[in-house]
Amino acid sequence: MTEPTLFELSSPGRAGVTFPQPDVPHFDLPDESLLRDDLPLPELAEVDVVRHYMALSRYNYSVDSGFYPLGSCTMKYNPKVNEDACRLPGFLFTHPLQPIETVQGNLLLMYQMQEWLKEISGFAAVTLQPAAGAHGEFTGVLMMRAYHKARGDHKRVKMLIPDAAHGTNPASAGMLGMTVKVIPSDSRGNVDLDALRAECDETVVGMMLTNPNTLGLFDEHIEEVIKLVRDCGGLMYGDGANLNALLGIVRPGDLGFDVMHFNLHKTFAVPHGGGGPGSGPVGVSQRLADFLPSPLVGIVEEADGETPPLYGFITPKHSIGRMKAFHGHFGGGLVRAYTYIAMHGADGLKDVSQYAVLNANYLAARLRNTFKIPFDRICMHEFVMEGRVEGSDVRALDISKRLMDYNFHPPTNYFPLIVREALMIEPTETENKNTLDAFAEALLKIAEEAKTDPELVKTAPHTTPFGRMDEVKAARELVLCCWLPEGYDSNQ
């Protein structure tokens, strides 16, 4: 039941959308040596294209099709009104280099978004430029580096990162040539304070901490952790991947974090788009504000009586520079997130986090007698359990695949690395109790199957359009492209 590729579907002479003839006099193309002689693209009619992508869409699982408890990814429901908002012509068809007087709507929206994110997080300033969480993280680490450098403090080369951290944290530090020092977790899933204390010296750039961490736990000594890092002259980086637990609950800026990236595609319901685009604004404390990427949006002329303020671009004094072309993921990111925040307000956002945490704890409560939860205390918006069953050799991967037969998307597998056979489950606040119960019951049933019929679980999935893929073959043969079939004659 596989769908042919676009190239296999191609038929010489077929065309989809075509364009008018030129309405200007003819100009010769430059010398032939500057031209290409072939253009090996597929030739299809519009209906071919639509049926092709409809066929592909049916092979996908998505939030719109069902429960997607992928830990650390916050796969919440994506409200439909946001889709309409970001497609308003005033947003879609504005050029990033238009005179500011012609794009005051866009700039107002960006300015308010900066203000709202400051208020939600407790930071002094926010940049909207970074394109994704990892990009925001890189932005943050660049600012931390620039801050120390600007003070003439050149010996700081060491970044402290807990063992439960996302892989992007060490990669971001590595991109700047920093040394990564891994800090272990203690028996309650907190940062091990003694281990941290031993590393805190005058070579510390800072610490990159996800809080709640990737075990879904809020660090019980967060204030001591931050104090230790700051006392040795380090800066505190907060990975905002798990901010969905904290809206209206606590502001990272109040806790003493210096910098944090937001994932608008997680916390503020921007759809994940099959892997992007995301949007990763960054908030900073006062001491990093001058290092933000440029430009920011500011008021360049104050309001005067009836005249509203004029919004424009401003450059921070010691800006690290530009992180990408233009102003960030405006349309697909900021407009959707703005609509979402506008519809929630302070109380609505607090509800989001409270119910996200309620749902996670409820699921954990329903599962803890069957699956081991290694750091078992009240969790935040997600929890991690061991995906194995006493007396069976079924693994977390098998359980994940078997969940597909029950029409659920599996949790995140094998992360964080500090939990054996980890299954990281994040239900989000947009799931109802029936769905959570059905998911829990499916997992309990699979635990039974693991003992009574382990082969059934190990060979799953059985009901999906595709079975397990041969990943070794893919990596060994490296077929990364397809082309028009051999002998395809486009002049036919």
Partner 1 sequence: MTYIPISPTEREAMLKTIGVESLEALFEAVPARYRFPKLNLPPALTEMEAASLLTEIAASNENTRGDLVSFLGAGMYNHYIPSVVDHILRRGEFYTAYTPYQPEISQGTLQAIFEYQSLMAALTGMELSNASHYDGATAAAESVNMAFANFRGKRRKVVISPTVHPQYRETIRTYTQGMELTLVGDDATADLQAAPEALIPWIDLDTALVIVQYPDFFGRIFDYTRLIDAAHAQGALVCVVANPIALALFKTPGAMGADIVVGEGQPLGIPMWFGGPSLGFFTTRKQYVHKMAGRLVGETVDSRGQRGYVLTLTAREQHIKREKATSNICTNQGLLALASAVYLATVGKTGLKQVANLCYQKAHYAAEELSKIPGVGLCFPQPFFHEFAVCFPKPVAEINEHLLEYGILGGYDLGQDYPALKDHALIAVTEMNSRDEIDLLVEVVKEALS
Is residue 260 within 8 A of residue 140, CB to CB? The reply is yes
**285 is a contact residue toward partner 1 (CB under 8 A):** no
Is residue 334 within 8 A of residue 279, CB to CB? The reply is yes
**156 is a contact residue toward partner 1 (CB under 8 A):** no
**Minimum CB distance to partner 1 smaller for 40 or for 184:** 40
**Distant-in-sequence contacts of 389-397, Cβ < 8 A, 24+ apart:** 389/447, 389/450, 389/451, 391/451, 392/450, 392/451, 392/454, 393/454, 394/450, 394/454, 394/457, 394/458, 395/421, 396/421, 396/422, 396/423
Q: How far is the CB of 202 from partner 1 (least distance, A)?
A: 19
**49 is a contact residue toward partner 1 (CB under 8 A):** yes
Sole binder of partner 1 in the list 71, 332, 387, 427 (CB under 8 A): 332
**300 is a contact residue toward partner 1 (CB under 8 A):** no
Q: How far is the CB of 391 from partner 1 (least distance, A)?
A: 26
Q: Residues binding partner 1: what is the number (CB under 8 A)? A: 206
Task: Tell whether the torsion through CA atoms of 448, 454, 459 and 463 is positive or negative.
Answer: negative
Which segment (195-203, 232-240, 431-439, 442-450) binds partner 1 by CB under 8 A? Answer: 431-439
Among positions 333-372, residues that touch partner 1 (CB under 8 A) are 333, 335, 338-339, 341-352, 354-355, 357-359, 361-362, 364-366
SS3 231: helix
Among positions 107-136, residues that touch partner 1 (CB under 8 A) are 108-109, 116, 119-120, 122, 131-135
Residues 191-230, mask of contacts with partner 1 (x by CB under 8 A): --------------------------xxxx-xx-------
**171 is a contact residue toward partner 1 (CB under 8 A):** yes
**98 is a contact residue toward partner 1 (CB under 8 A):** yes
| DSSP H helical ranges for 296-452 | 336-367, 396-405, 433-452
Sole binder of partner 1 in the list 152, 305, 306, 466 (CB under 8 A): 466
Give the separation between CA 183 and CA 244, rounded to whole angstroms. Answer: 24
Is residue 313 within 8 A of residue 125, CB to CB? The reply is no
Strands 204-210 and 158-162: parallel
**Minimum CB distance to partner 1 smaller for 390 or for 466:** 466
Output the six-digit token pair for 480.
């990364």
Which segment (227-235, 298-306, 396-404, 441-449) binds partner 1 by CB under 8 A? Answer: 396-404
Q: How far is the CB of 194 from partner 1 (least distance, A)?
A: 20
Sole binder of partner 1 in the list 475, 487, 491, 492 (CB under 8 A): 475
**187 is a contact residue toward partner 1 (CB under 8 A):** no
Cβ count near 162 (within 10 Å): 27
Prior bond to 416 cis, omega within 30?
A: yes
Q: How far is the CB of 260 from partner 1 (least distance, A)?
A: 15
Give the separation between CA 394 and CA 423, rounded to whole angstroms. Answer: 13
Among positions 74-93, residues that touch partner 1 (CB under 8 A) are 75-79, 81, 83-93
